[in-house]
Amino acid sequence: LNESVRIAALSGEPIDESVARRITSADSLQLDGIGDVAAELMEDAQIRLLLINGTPSALETACRRAGARLEHVDQAKRPRARLHAMLQFALCLGEAGNSDYAHRVLSSPLKTCAALELSQVLLDEGPRMLRLAQDAVDAKEFSSADPTTAANVRDFVSNLVEKSSV
């Protein structure tokens, strides 16, 4: 279900109504215990559906839920899950028009992705994420960062944008 929503969100194609109903009718799962991964995937899909919806109230709900998801993920135990949660929260903020906050949230994941060369993580989030990343590295957040780090992140993002345009 999550992959169906991801593909629809990236392609702009309409999502199958039966898939959307299954996702939206699912109760919000608690993000704790054994069901963490399944719950996070369902929450991810529900947040993506809200982004696809795009209404102001849906975007506000997406931001709230993505923020709650981010707060839940333990950086020490699950750094990759935390990275994905940060990217999704930043994307929600950006889509809701809160670009300054989105850039601040995106600053750390961009530095991590650049340092570890995790290009596919950003590419998998699609063109909206790449545009947000490009805007973030052009924003004042990176101009006040360590010059070497800022240059590395700018180069990393520029290369991703270039690759994705080909």
What's the pLDDT tens digit per position in 56-96?
999 999 999 999 999 988 888 889 999 999 999 999 999 99
Amino acid sitting at position 149: T
Q: How many of the other CB atoms lie within 10 Å of CB of 109?
A: 22
The whole-number average pLDDT for the span 12-25 is 81
Question: What span, in angstroms and rounded, lies between the C-alpha atoms of 95 and 72?
Answer: 22
pLDDT at 136: 94
Q: Which tokens hold the place of 31? A: 């993000």
User: Poorest-confidence range of 27-36, 88-97, 155-164?
Assistant: 27-36
Which of 31 and 127 is assigned the larger pLDDT? 127
pTM: 0.84
